Amino acid sequence: MAVAASLDEKIEPIYREVIRRNPGEVEFHQAVREVLESIGPVLVKHPEFAEHRIIERICEPERQIIFRVPWEDDEGNVQINRGFRVEFNSALGPYKGGLRFHPSVYLGIVKFLGFEQIFKNALTGMPIGGAKGGADFDPKGRSDGETMRFCQSFMTELYRHLGEYTDVPAGDIGVGTREIGFLFGQYKRITNRYESAVLTGKGLDWGGARVRNEATGYGLVYFVGEMLAASGTSFDGRTGVVSGSGNVALHAIEKMHALGGRVVACSDSDGYVLDEAGLDVELLKEIKTVERGRVSDYADLRPRARFAPAGNIWHVPCEVALPCATQNELTGNDAARLVANGCIAVGEGANMPTTPEGVRVFLDAGVAFGPGKAANAGGVATSALEMQQNASRDSWTFEHTELRLAEIMRDIHHRCYETAAEYGKPGNYVAGANISGFIKVAAAMVALGLI
Give the 3-state secondary structure of residue 416. helix
Terminal-to-terminal C-alpha distance of the chain: 43
User: How many residues interact with ligand NDP (rule CB under 6 A)?
Assistant: 22
Q: How far is the CB of 183 from ligand NDP (least distance, A)?
A: 15
Contact 288/254 with Cβ under 8 angstroms?
Answer: no
Convert 136-153 to b/e letters by CB count within 10 Å (16 or more is b). bbebeebeeebbbbbbbb
Distance of CA 226 to the CA centre of its chain: 19
Active-site choice (111, 132, 373, 440): 132
401 near ligand 2IT, judged by CB under 6 A: no
- Which residue is nearest to ligand NDP, using beta carbons? 246
Find the binder of ligand NDP among 108, 129, 207, 244 (CB under 6 A). 244
- Which residue is nearest to ligand 2IT, using beta carbons? 98
Instruction: Write each residue from 37 to 76 as x if it is in contact with ligand NDP (CB under 6 A), else as -, in one continuous string.
Output: ----------------------------------------
DSSP string over 294-359? -HHHHHHH-TT-EEEET--GGGS--SEEEE-S-TT-B-HHHHHHHHHTT--EEE--SSS-B-HHHH
Residue 121: phi and psi, rounded to 5, are: -65, -35
Part of the chain binding ligand 2IT (CB under 6 A), chosen from 90-98, 257-265, 298-306, 360-368: 90-98
Find the binder of ligand 2IT among 105, 126, 242, 380 (CB under 6 A). 380
Torsion sign (Cα): 322, 291, 98, 379: positive
Compute and round to an integer the Cα radius of gyration of the chain.
21
Part of the chain binding ligand 2IT (CB under 6 A), chosen from 93-101, 289-297, 312-320, 408-416: 93-101
Q: How far is the CB of 121 from ligand 2IT (least distance, A)?
A: 8
The β-bridge partners of 69 are 81
Find the binder of ligand 2IT among 172, 268, 280, 348 (CB under 6 A). 172
173 near ligand NDP, judged by CB under 6 A: yes
| Residues 347 to 376 in contact with ligand 2IT, rule: CB under 6 A | 351
Q: How far is the CB of 426 from ligand NDP (least distance, A)?
A: 27
Find the binder of ligand 2IT among 11, 92, 122, 170 (CB under 6 A). 170
CB nearer to ligand NDP: give 93 or 323: 323
Contact 267/244 with Cβ under 8 angstroms?
Answer: yes
379 near ligand 2IT, judged by CB under 6 A: yes
Neighbour count for residue 42 (Cβ, 10 Å): 21
From ligand 2IT, ligand NDP, none, interface partner of 347 (C-beta below 5 to 8 A by class): none
132 counts as catalytic: yes
H/E segment holding residue 71: strand 63-72
Find the binder of ligand 2IT among 22, 200, 389, 428 (CB under 6 A). 200
DSSP 8-state class, residue 175: B
Catalytic positions are: 132
Residues that bind ligand NDP (CB under 6 A): 104, 171-174, 216, 244-249, 268-269, 324-326, 349-351, 376, 379
